[in-house]
Amino acid sequence: MSYVVYGMASSGNCHKVKMTLENLRLPYQWREIDTLKGETRTPSFLAMNSNGKVPVLAIDQTQYLPESNAILWFLAEGTPLVPADKLDRARVLQWMFFEQYSHETAIAVARYIRAFLNQHDDSRLPELQKRGYAALGVMDRHLEARDYFVGSALSIADLALFAYTHKADEGGFDVAPYKSVVAWLDRVTSAPGVSVMPSP
């Protein structure tokens, strides 16, 4: 089976899907979608995802799966990227929920404002910085005594959090003081299928 991904290469939510596919060596085709040009609002795209957002995974010609972390779970379930232990599986979901609720909503949004819109004096940025640094602090404390977010091996929780964290500087964040996060970034960077996301 070969999947088709409708995504934007410089989007972290799309990049983590790409890394998961490549880590698992799953065949796929990439269809670049320019969200800034309204390409997610066309009738053909909305037929795949009525929410009008990337990424979307085309499973076949009739089945489409949106939402990045749902895609990661679909692709990785039954592989080493999802632990076999029931509690560890729940912990993977815990960190993926954290990524979407506490991390992405600050770090990714700040990156979008600064790097995509080129607005460095936007009134939203101070609050986004505060929340983003709080998320990095949570991650740093958790990683002080472990190499990965769950268990002793790379999981989709790591790939989900890596995507926007390794480009946090484009949102105006300095990750250098977060030593455990920096060490984790280096660790994940060396994993199979992991790559640097293109800048806008």
Q: How far apart are CA 145 and CA 149, in angstroms?
A: 10
Per-residue pLDDT reduced to its tens digit, 83-113: 999 999 999 999 999 999 999 999 999 999 9
Query: Could you tell me the residue ranges of all domains in the chain?
Result: 3-76, 86-189
Q: How far apart are CA 67 and CA 149, in angstroms?
A: 21
pLDDT band at 57 (very low <50, low <70, confident <90, very high): very high
Amino acid identity of residue 154, one-letter, is: L
Rg for the chain (alpha carbons), in Å? 16
> pTM for this structure?
0.97
Token output for 79: 């592989």
Per-residue pLDDT reduced to its tens digit, 122-154: 999 999 999 999 999 999 999 999 999 999 999
For the CA atoms of 52, 58, 62, 66, what is the dihedral angle to 10 degrees?
Answer: -40
Task: Tell me the CA distances in angstroms from 49 to 45, 72, 154, 162, one per residue in order.
Answer: 6, 17, 29, 25
Instruction: Report pLDDT for 99.
Output: 98
Instruction: Report pLDDT for 1.
Output: 76
Could you tell me where the DSSP H helices lie in 77-172? 86-98, 109-111, 125-143, 156-165
Provide the CATH topology of domain 3-76.
Glutaredoxin (3.40.30)
Task: Answer whether CATH 1.50.10.10 is correct for domain 86-189.
Answer: no
Token output for 129: 């910085």
Token output for 38: 């309204």
Percent of the chain with pLDDT over 90: 98
Token output for 122: 């936007």
Spell 4-32 as b/e; 16+ CB within 10 A means b. bbbbbebbbbbbbbbbbbebeeeebebee
